[in-house]
Structure 1
Amino acid sequence: MSELLLNHLAGRPQAGSGPGTALSDPVLGTELARVDATGLDLREGFAFVREQAGAALRAMTYAQRAALLASIVKVLQANRDRYFEISTANSGTVKNDTAIDVDGGIYTLGFYAKLGAGLGERRHLLDGEAVALARDGSFQSQHLLVPTRGVALFINAFNFPAWGLWEKAGPALLSGVPVIVKPATATAWLTQRMVMDVIDAGILPAGALSVVCGSSAGLLDALQPFDVVSFTGSADTAAILRSHPAIVRGATRINIEADSVNSALLLPGEAPGSDAFELLVKEAAREMTQKAGQKCTAIRRIFVPEALYGAAAEAISARLAKTTVGNPRNEGVRMGSLVSRAQLAAVREGLAMLQRHAQVLHEGAAHALVDADPAVACCVGPTLLGARDPDSTRAVHDVEVFGPVATLLPYRDAAHALALVRRGQGSLVCSVYGSDPAALGAAARELADSHGRVHVVAPEVAASHTGHGNVMPQSLHGGPGRAGGGEELGGARALNFYHRRAAVQAGAGVQSTLA
Structure 2
Amino acid sequence: MTELLSNYLGGTWQRGSGAGTALFDPVLGNELVRVDATGLDLAAGFAFAREQGGAALRALTYRQRAALLGEVVKVLQANRDAYYDIATANSGTVRNDSAVDIDGGIFTLGTYARLGDTLGDRHHLPDGEAARLGKDPLFQSQHVLVPTRGVALFINAFNFPAWGLWEKAAPALLAGVPVIVKPATATAWLTQRMVRDVVEAGILPAGALSVVCGSAAGMLDALQPFDVVSFTGSADTAAVIRSHPAIARRSVRVNIEADSINAAVLLPQDGADSAAFDLLAKEVVREMTVKSGQKCTAIRRVFVPEALYARATEAIGARLSKVTVGNPRHDTVRMGALVSRAQFDAVQAGLDGLRRHAQVLHDGSRQPLVDADPAVACCIGPTLLGVTDADAAGTVHDTEVFGPVATLLPYRDTAHALALVRRGQGSLVASLYGSDAAALGAAALELADSHGRVHVISPDVAQLHTGHGNVMPQSLHGGPGRAGGGEELGGLRALHFYHRRCAIQASTAVLGTLA
Equivalent residue number for residue 185 of structure 1: 185
Equivalence for 1:337: 337
2:437 corresponds to 1:437: yes
In the TM superposition, what whole-angstrom CA distance separates every residue of 1:202-254 from its partner, at most 9, and x where no partner exists? 00001100000000000000000000000000000000000000000000000
> 1:134: how far off?
2.0
Query: Which position in structure 1 is the counterpart of 2:21?
Result: 21
Partner amino acid for 1:125?
Answer: L
Equivalent residue for 2:149? Answer: 149
* TM-score, scaled relative to structure 2: 1.00
Q: Would you identify which runs of 4 or more consecutive aligned residues in structure 1 move more than 4 Å?
A: none
In the alignment, the residues of structure 1 paired with residue 53 and residue 438 of structure 2 have an alpha-carbon distance, to the nearest angstrom, of: 51
Residues of 2 paired with 1:342 and 1:309: CA distance? Answer: 34
**Structure 2 counterpart of 1:301:** 301
CA RMSD, 1 decimal: 0.4
Where in structure 2 are the equivalents of 1:443-482 lying within 5 Å? 443-482=443-482
Within 2, Cα distance between the matches of 1:154 and 1:29?
29
Distance 1:23 1:207 in 2: 27
Matches within 5 A, 1:69-108: 69-108=69-108
Determine what percentage of the aligned residue pairs are the same residue.
76
Q: Give how far 1:298 is off.
A: 0.1
| Displacement after TM superposition at 1:393 (Å) | 1.2
Letter in 1 for 2:71: S
1:60-459 counterparts in 2 under 5 A?
60-459=60-459
Q: Deviations over 1:328-380 (max 9, x none)?
A: 00000000000000000000000000000000000011110000000000000
Cα distance in structure 1, aligned partners of 2:376 and 2:265:
37
The match for 1:497 is 497
Aligned to 2:2: 2
Q: Distance in 2 between matches of 1:39 and 1:276?
A: 56
Alpha-carbon separation, structure 1, partners of 2:264 and 2:427: 12
Distance 2:106 2:40 in 1: 30
Q: Distance in 1 between matches of 2:203 and 2:160?
A: 24
Tell me how far apart the structure 1 counterparts of residues 444 and 514 of structure 2 sit (CA, whole Å).
40
CA distance in 1, matches of 2:149, 2:12: 21
SS of equivalent residue, structure 2 residue 129: strand
Shift of 1:273: 2.3
Structure 2 SS opposite 1:338: coil
* Corresponding residue number in structure 2 for 1:486: 486
CA distance in 1, matches of 2:217, 2:469: 32
Q: What secondary structure sits across from 2:158 in the alignment? A: coil
What 5-or-longer segments of structure 2 have no aligned partner?
none
TM-score, with structure 1 as normaliser: 1.00
The code of the aligned residue for 2:257 comes to E
Letter in 2 for 1:118: T
Measured in 2, the distance between the counterparts of 1:433 and 1:40 equals 51
Deviations along 1:453-478, one digit per CA (max 9) or x if unpaired, are 00000000000000000000000000
- Distance in 1 (CA, whole Å) between partners of 2:45 and 2:62 is 25
Deviations along 1:57-84, one digit per CA (max 9) or x if unpaired, are 0000000000000000000000000000
> Aligned partners of 2:92 and 2:392: how far apart in 1?
37
What displacement does 1:270 show?
A: 1.2
Task: Give the distance between the partners of 1:204 and 1:465, measured in 2 at CA.
Answer: 35
Counterpart Cα distance in 2 of 1:406 and 1:513: 57
SS state of the match for residue 492, structure 1? helix
How many residues align? The count is 515
SS at match of 1:167: helix
Q: SS of the counterpart of 2:160? A: coil
Instruction: Please give the alpha-carbon distance, in whole angstroms, between the structure 1 residues aligned to 2:270 and 2:140.
Output: 57
Q: What secondary structure does 1:73 align onto?
A: helix
Aligned pairs (5 A) from 1:43-58 = 43-58=43-58
**Superposed displacement of residue 389, structure 1:** 0.4
Asked whether 1:31 is paired with 2:20, we answer no
User: How big is the shift at 1:271?
Assistant: 1.1
Q: For 1:124 and 1:400, how far apart are their aligned partners in 2?
A: 41
Q: SS in structure 2 opposite 1:149?
A: coil
CA distance in 2, matches of 1:273, 1:244: 54
Deviations 1:20-58 (A, max 9, x none): 000000000000000000000000000000001100000
Mapped partners of 1:504, 1:273: distance in 2: 61
Q: 2: distance between equivalents of 1:475 and 1:169?
A: 16
Letter in 2 for 1:364: G
Three-state SS of the structure 2 residue aligned to 1:19 is coil
Distance 1:102 1:367 in 2: 29
The code of the aligned residue for 1:314 comes to E
Match of 2:508 in 1: 508
Query: How far is the alpha carbon of 1:148 from its aligned partner?
Result: 0.1
Question: What secondary structure does 1:449 align onto?
Answer: helix
Distance, in Å, in 1 between the alignment partners of 2:79 and 2:241 is 34
Alpha-carbon distance in 1 for matches of 2:298, 2:356: 22
Structure 2 SS opposite 1:63? helix
Give unpaired runs (5+ residues) of structure 1: none
